[in-house]
Amino acid sequence: MTMKRHKLPALDYLDDHDLVYERAPEGWVDGVPMANGHLGAMLWGDGQPLHVTLDKYDVWETRAPEPNWDRFRYSVIRQLLRENRLVEIQDICSSLPKGSGDTVPYPTRLPLPRMAIDNLTFQGGRLRLKDATWETGRWRAFAHATRRLFVLQGLPADVTVRLDYAPNPGGKKVRQIQDLLNLWGYPPLERGTAGTTQWVRQAFPAGGEYVIAYRVRSCELLLSIQSSRDAANPLQAAVAAVENLPEYDSLHKEHAAWWRDFWGHSAIALPDARLENLYYAEIYKLGSSTRPDGYPIPLQGLWSVDGCQPPWWGDYHLDLNVQETYWPIYTSNHLDLGDALYERFFAMLPRFREDGRKFFDSEGAWARCALAIDGIPIVGAKPADDKYVGWVATACSPSYLAWLSHHYWLHYRYSLDAEFLRARAQPMMKAAWQLYRDLLEEGPDGKLHLPVCHSPEYAEGTPAEWQADTSYDGALIRFLCQALMEADDVLAAHDPDRSKYAEILARLYDYPGGNELWIAKDLPLTQSHRHLSHLLAIYPLGLLTIEGTEADRLLIENSLRTLRRQGMAAWAGHTYPPMSLIAARAGKAEWAWNMLQLYFAWLTPNSLHLNGDRRNFGITLFAGTAMTLEAGFGAAAAVMELLLQSWNGLIRVFPATPDFWPDVSFRDLLAEGAVLVSAEKKAGRVQWIEIESRKGGMVRIKNVFQGPAMIAGQKYSGDILEVPAKAGERIRIVPATPPAQKMEKTDRTKNWFGLKRLPRY
């Protein structure tokens, strides 16, 4: 495609990326995903009936007993570890709130009633990305981008609509949601009418409720979901949301305008049509999944599994999943999509500080790995036994808030918003750092060590899950100290802990492994492993780079060699995008591209990611069919990492595009330093680069031309181009001797995703 610079560009190129369904999706997982950051709708079935699986972020069971803080304490567990009394540690952790399926309620997301619409033909259709609208020959639907409203037009005259909890056809391990609600004391759904509007209400035993209100207006269905977190009177708010509305065309015009602006933020063009399709499908899902005034994106987003409790409680997993989910918002120039993450987790900080005090006796903040809404912890510990069965080190790790705080730092680096740095990023990073500061202990070698920690999910379920001096934690501690020192410079705040940051950096334990990154002290990577967290220093933290010292390059190279030797047998779908990102940072373009190609094996026809090799491609031993979103978003970030990188104050254009991508371009991707970048490559040579600094100042960009560059009529030579820029000024950079090749789109495959008569997956 040719991308011209417009404030709001023509979006016809997105037609090639629409999800086209040639037949009706028979199951929920193959359905049509629609959402607006507040409510979600998955459309599926053959129309007899059409099923609409509804979802909302704040429908949670939140009851959770407090742990026995006299026993559940770091000091107690530390002593038991010294004495190798592991079963007693397990016994302590087995009393924590957990998802055990017993009669005691525990935190989990809850499915909503499913809507069934009879006599609505569903033989196929198209999910149009440019305006996020589903369209068939007879009816169309959308989740309104700015109203808490789902709209469906084209109902037949004899339509009937039903709302009820749906039975799930899963196996015996799947608990029916109605059985679970009955077990936990939920009252039955209450039903009523208000004029022409019908509604159902579900009250929670712990207080609060949600209401689904819907009405049929001529041939239109209008539906809204409101909860006690949205309004003091959810019933009144839900009914009001579907009454006195403009006609369909006006509603759709409002909706389409939001999406037109959304797609106008950036664009890419690849010679790999399938990968380009995936990128735009993921950016669509990202724009559907969050709003600044909403909630962060949990594991399944707004498309929780139909009819039963979601896998892993539908929670916020902080050992990779939340972090990977938000990686693409920066370079794609959608910084506002992080607002819900920053604000909601910052509001949890008092709770995290209280938990840090109770468990670690620290003034630092402590977030658990698995969190419900409002930061309520979820722990999946197994009951005590006469032997160690593990899965408890995760419950005690100090690392999760530190990794989450990296997103706050990224927002500052990409926006240069000093007020955000002062009010949000610095306090969050400081709270995470304070916990590490209080846990570091001086060893016989004079260095500072972390005696009890855990590299995410490595050796989980065995005594080896209890580790010391992990590469993962070491990278996070270094990141926090360096970022807090830089924040102090920017804010001129005279941080009283500045000398402590420097001391920790000088005395912190070395990365374990010597000339490669091990998992932890005395623990090399000895098996295939789905979490690449021991490589966190390479990506996303960028502490070890191929532009660093020779020792850094050797550390990266040896670590990747060991990773390759151990293989992918235990990888999950969410492993491939991080591996692509790591390979791209290491300058291994073809490896980075190949990881994205292998990722397609994990996808459903509608581009959703499943946690298992359900079609037996033979690439992994990882089993399961649970859907989670983070891997797809990670893949979108990895695509952009091939096109643009910006770390250590330098912008790199096309740093990891494979040799067989001669023609590729992008528009208005965002680099660190608040710089928009556009570029085009034809026949393997960069034709031009365009930059726009939002803040002004000196922009440093790597010279990717085969010789000098021309900027505003002046010739610039050297490996690094230093370009002075005014805020808002567009600057075009071209080679001094411009090549004259025509860009050709070599791969013309269209509409890869959607349910086909002849399956592509």
Residue 570 has pLDDT above 60, yes or no: yes
Residues 404, 500 within the same domain: yes
Q: Pick 463 or 758 by higher pLDDT.
A: 463
Two tokens, residue 323: 């972090």
- Asked if residue 12 belongs to a domain, the reply is no
Mark which of 267, 297, 319 sits at the end of a domain: 267
Residues 82, 142 within the same domain: no
- Summary mean pLDDT of the chain: 92
- Return the pLDDT at 180: 87
CA 606, chain centre distance (Å): 18
- Asked if residue 258 belongs to a domain, the reply is yes
Contact 289, 35 (CB under 8 A): yes
Residues 40, 186 within the same domain: yes
Average pLDDT over residues 467-496: 98
Domain that holds residue 138: 19-62+108-267
- Asked if residue 323 belongs to a domain, the reply is no
Residue 9 has pLDDT above 90, yes or no: no
- Return the pLDDT at 291: 97
Residue 339 has pLDDT above 70, yes or no: yes
Q: In this structure, are strands 114-117 and 125-128 parallel, antiparallel, or unpaired?
A: unpaired
- Asked if residue 301 belongs to a domain, the reply is no
For residues 47 and 24, what is the distance between their CA atoms, to the nearest angstrom?
Answer: 8
- Return the pLDDT at 102: 60
Per-residue pLDDT reduced to its tens digit, 639-656: 999 999 999 999 999 999
Q: Pick 4 or 60 by higher pLDDT.
A: 60
Residue appearing with tokens 């629609």? 34
Residues 69, 180 within the same domain: no
Mark which of 549, 580, 603 sits at the end of a domain: 549
Q: Domain holding 202: CATH number?
A: 2.70.98.50
User: What's the farthest any 2 CA atoms get from each other in the chain?
Assistant: 81
DSSP code at position 297: -
Query: Would you place residue 1 in the very low, low, confident or very high pLDDT band (cuts 50, 70, 90)?
Result: very low
Q: Pick 443 or 103 by higher pLDDT.
A: 443
Nearest 5°: phi and psi at 177? Answer: -65, -35
Query: Would you place residue 715 in the very low, low, confident or very high pLDDT band (cuts 50, 70, 90)?
Result: very high
Residue 740 has pLDDT above 90, yes or no: no
Residue 246 has pLDDT above 70, yes or no: yes
Residues 243, 128 within the same domain: yes
Contact 680, 740 (CB under 8 A): no
- Return the pLDDT at 390: 65
Q: Which of 300-304, 382-386, 679-683 has the lowest mean pLDDT?
A: 382-386
DSSP code at position 4: -
Residues 88, 137 within the same domain: no
Average pLDDT over residues 543-549: 97
Per-residue pLDDT reduced to its tens digit, 129-140: 999 999 998 999
Helix axes of 349-360 and 339-347: crossing angle, nearest 10 degrees: 50
Alpha-carbon dihedral sign for residues 595, 600, 606, 608: negative
| HSE-CB for 182 with a 13 A CA cutoff | 6
Average pLDDT over residues 314-330: 97
Residues 100, 231 within the same domain: no
Residues 251, 394 within the same domain: no
Two tokens, residue 121: 């033909």
Average pLDDT over residues 593-622: 91
Single out the residue of 460, 431, 443 nearest to residue 510, CA to CA: 443
Residue appearing with tokens 């059409």? 50
Residue 391 has pLDDT above 80, yes or no: no
Residues 391, 259 within the same domain: no
DSSP string, 353-384: HHHHHHHH--SS----SEE-GGG-EE--PPPP
Two tokens, residue 758: 């002849």
- Asked if residue 162 belongs to a domain, the reply is yes
The three-class DSSP label of residue 680 is strand
- Return the pLDDT at 280: 98
Residue 8 has pLDDT above 70, yes or no: no
Tell me the residue ranges of DSSP E strands in 417-527: 441-442, 448-449
Residue 382 has pLDDT above 70, yes or no: no
- Return the pLDDT at 104: 80
For residues 740 and 32, what is the distance between their CA atoms, to the nearest angstrom?
Answer: 43
Average pLDDT over residues 677-701: 96
Per-residue pLDDT reduced to its tens digit, 79-107: 999 999 988 888 887 666 554 456 788 89
- Return the pLDDT at 394: 87
- Return the pLDDT at 383: 47
Query: How many separate domains does the chain show?
Result: 2
Query: Would you place residue 175 in the very low, low, confident or very high pLDDT band (cuts 50, 70, 90)?
Result: low
**Residue 483 CB coordination number (10 Å):** 24
- Asked if residue 225 belongs to a domain, the reply is yes
Sheet order of strands, 370-371 included: 316-317, 370-371, 377-378
Residues 75, 152 within the same domain: no
Q: Pick 210 or 761 by higher pLDDT.
A: 210
For residues 458 and 571, what is the distance between their CA atoms, to the nearest angstrom?
Answer: 12
Mark which of 549, 577, 599 sits at the end of a domain: 549
Two tokens, residue 135: 């369209």
Helix axes of 471-491 and 498-507: crossing angle, nearest 10 degrees: 150
Average pLDDT over residues 573-577: 96
- Return the pLDDT at 612: 86
586-to-435, 525, 611 alpha-carbon distances in Å: 31, 19, 27
Residue 384 has pLDDT above 50, yes or no: no
- Return the pLDDT at 3: 41
- Return the pLDDT at 90: 80
Residues 96, 211 within the same domain: no
- Return the pLDDT at 2: 37
Residues 402, 418 within the same domain: yes
Average pLDDT over residues 260-280: 96
Average pLDDT over residues 688-713: 95
396-to-62, 377, 400, 627 alpha-carbon distances in Å: 21, 12, 10, 27
Two tokens, residue 514: 């010597």
- Asked if residue 138 belongs to a domain, the reply is yes
- Return the pLDDT at 461: 81
Q: How large a percentage of the chain has pLDDT more than 90? A: 81
* Beta-bridge mates of residue 453: 467
The DSSP element (H or E) to which 197 belongs, if any, is strand 197-203
- Asked if residue 115 belongs to a domain, the reply is yes
Two tokens, residue 752: 């890869």
Residue 491 has pLDDT above 90, yes or no: yes
